[in-house]
């Protein structure tokens, strides 16, 4: 198969012109395994393209006691947008003669571990787009946690970005205090830390299952809304 050159900058610009807020390229060799891919399968995809779309400040700022129906619809809309971007990029990469596997924005592979086939947050931190907050959410440099992600795995020989290795939450515990079920344990993330050290995922899921009955999605949004990094960006945009 004949392959054509495709660059990281070309990919980022292409995504951003179609609505992506941020994008980065990760080297998957940092990973020994994922929940859904064996090491052999992972070797097929040497790069992971992380794609982020921004959530609406107006909708996120309206969340206080729990998720709203407006947030639930916005969540679905953004997932659809991300899935389109991932499929679009995958087709673009395949046209160049490389393989590409789009990972949907919100689809669990392992229900017991509550994990995706390839964690979007992993691709995002490996491509330097942000760090993992105390809430176990990805905190992007530009938008805080007010971003949702999709991922495209590929063997295209793209230049990679530098991974984020440390937390920038410092002593902030806004999400810890706001969590309605005390699922956030209050630790600062360091590179390689497991999610269970930061978050009781089962406590979180029990609460999300209750919210699903009222808004139709397993979402909360409180920790997204209270994060000062996202709030500061929202306030600055209003000035």
Residue 1 is assigned to a structural domain of this protein: no
Per-residue pLDDT of 94-109, as tens digits, reads: 999 999 999 989 755 4
Predicted TM-score (pTM) of the model is 0.89
- Asked if pLDDT for residue 16 goes beyond 80, the answer is yes
Alpha-carbon 35 to chain mean position: 16
- Lookup: tokens for 235: 């306030």
Our count of domains for the chain comes to 1
Per-residue pLDDT of 211-222, as tens digits, reads: 999 999 999 999
- Give the least confident one: 36-45, 74-83, 174-183, 209-218: 36-45
Query: What percent of the chain is predicted at pLDDT more than 70?
Result: 87
Confidence at residue 114, expressed as pLDDT on a 0 to 100 scale: 39
Residue 166 is assigned to a structural domain of this protein: yes
- Asked if pLDDT for residue 43 goes beyond 50, the answer is yes
Residue 2 is assigned to a structural domain of this protein: no
Confidence at residue 238, expressed as pLDDT on a 0 to 100 scale: 56
Mean pLDDT of 72-91: 96
Mean pLDDT of 54-72: 94
Q: Residue 159 is part of which domain span? A: 8-238
Confidence at residue 32, expressed as pLDDT on a 0 to 100 scale: 65
Provide the pLDDT confidence category of residue 3 given band limits of 50, 70 and 90. Answer: low
Query: What percent of the chain is predicted at pLDDT more than 90?
Result: 76
Q: Is the distance from CB of 22 to CB of 146 less than 8 angstroms?
A: no
Residue 164 is assigned to a structural domain of this protein: yes
Residue 3 is assigned to a structural domain of this protein: no
Rounded Cα–Cα distance for residues 171 and 12 (Å): 33
- Give the least confident one: 97-106, 115-124, 151-160: 115-124
Rounded Cα–Cα distance for residues 103 and 62 (Å): 30
- Asked if pLDDT for residue 115 goes beyond 50, the answer is no
Confidence at residue 64, expressed as pLDDT on a 0 to 100 scale: 87
Provide the pLDDT confidence category of residue 49 given band limits of 50, 70 and 90. Answer: very high
Q: Is the distance from CB of 24 to CB of 127 less than 8 angstroms?
A: yes
Residue with tokens 């330097």: 128
Rounded Cα–Cα distance for residues 150 and 128 (Å): 15
Confidence at residue 24, expressed as pLDDT on a 0 to 100 scale: 98
Residue 202 is assigned to a structural domain of this protein: yes
- Lookup: tokens for 124: 């995002």
User: Which residues make beta-bridge pairs with 22?
Assistant: 52
Mean pLDDT of 191-220: 92
Confidence at residue 106, expressed as pLDDT on a 0 to 100 scale: 76
User: Which residues make beta-bridge pairs with 144?
Assistant: 140
Mean pLDDT of 31-57: 81
């Amino acid at each position: 198969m004949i392959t054509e050159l495709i660059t990281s900058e070309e990919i980022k610009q292409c995504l951003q012109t179609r609505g992506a807020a941020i994008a980065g390229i990760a080297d998957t060799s940092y990973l020994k395994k994922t929940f859904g891919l064996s090491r052999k399968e992972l070797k097929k995809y040497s790069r992971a393209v992380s794609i982020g779309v921004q959530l609406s400040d107006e909708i996120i700022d309206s969340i206080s006691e729990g998720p709203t129906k407006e947030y639930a619809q916005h969540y679905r809309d953004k997932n659809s947008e991300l899935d389109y971007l991932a499929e679009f990029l995958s087709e673009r990469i395949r046209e160049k003669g490389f393989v590409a596997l789009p990972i949907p924005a919100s689809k669990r592979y392992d229900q017991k571990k509550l994990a995706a086939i390839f964690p979007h947050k992993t691709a995002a931190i490996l491509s330097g787009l942000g760090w993992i907050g105390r809430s176990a959410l990805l905190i992007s440099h530009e938008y805080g946690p007010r971003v949702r992600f999709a991922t495209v795995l590929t063997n295209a020989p793209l230049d990679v970005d530098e991974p984020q290795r440390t937390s920038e939450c410092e002593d902030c515990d806004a999400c810890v205090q706001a969590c309605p079920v005390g699922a956030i344990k209050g630790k600062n993330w360091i590179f390689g830390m497991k999610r269970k050290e930061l978050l009781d995922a089962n406590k979180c899921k029990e609460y999300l299952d209750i919210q699903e009955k009222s808004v139709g999605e397993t979402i909360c949004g409180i920790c997204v809304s209270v994060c000062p990094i996202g709030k500061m960006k929202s306030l600055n945009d209003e000035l």
